[in-house]
Structure 1
Amino acid sequence: MTTPFSLSSLLICLTVLFLQPRELISAPADNESITLPVRIHRFRTANEPRLNCSMSDDDIREQMKAVNETWKQASIIWDIESIQNMTPQMPEAFALALSQNREKIAPALIANTKRENLLANGFNVVIAEDFEKTIGGVFIPKPDGVVYFATRGPKGLQTPAVLAHELGHALG
């Protein structure tokens, strides 16, 4: 095999490349970050305490700050478009699903989501209070592609890593 470069020229180029500081090779420039809009919906209801999210706006912003730290390595920034309260549409369906089996949780969450409040050209996260021992979070791609997260899950208080993980599913 013949190349237009001599072996010594190739070795010099490779040496220069590999001696560069790691930050210069792996860290993208600020203008290379991808900013993704996300609307946060907080379930609020007096009828079903497990749906009634206790997180304040500041708590949610702190969660998203930690989520962005996780996604920083991929140069992705989840930008909160807004934080809105959402009244669950069928809290009794959620209560029934929790008492039955895990497969019924997704349809119950969808049934409680007001579709007209969802961000059309962005990502949506709906936060509940407690998924008990069923799930930590879930991305449900259809009909609208929504991430569902709760402050409490199978292992107790949830970490932002659970939300970061579910947002990864939303990316495809």
Structure 2
Amino acid sequence: MSQDDMHGYTVAYEREELQFPVYVVAFTGACLATVGLALDNVFLIALALLALGFAYYNYPLLETGKQRIGCGQYGVFAEGLGIISWRSIKAIELKQLDVRGSIDHELLIMLEDPLERALLVDWRRRPFYRFLMRLPWSLKGSVIRIPLDAFDRPPEEIAQSFTRMMGFYKR
């Protein structure tokens, strides 16, 4: 089963705000690389590599419309992670973080089992060229953290849908 076969509630990255900074940084990196090579300036080439590395890491933000996280009858899925079975999920919680006056939202998925046993399908093996790209989740102990502000749906709607589907399928 691949990620494209998943049905149910799915969420993609937002289409408007996130693309612009990635394009600007990529363009800036290309300009710095061109000027650095023309002037044979190692400092400019190093800055260009940093900018292009940042753009490469954030390239998935440009792939709008592709499902990144979601849930269905089998459990919760996330790109680059796999499908976590409903029976292995202890709780799903929406957490608000105040970061420098701005509120960020994270979806916390607490696991009852270790990740290896919780996964029905393991998508952690990625192609080499995608190894250094952004993932929509992080793992801290037995808690999977998913920052929700980059997605195309409101954080409250995402958390409510995940919780509602967990209550329905976990019976």
TM superposition score normalised by structure 2:
0.29
TM superposition score normalised by structure 1:
0.29
Which entry has the higher C-alpha Rg, 1 or 2? Answer: 1
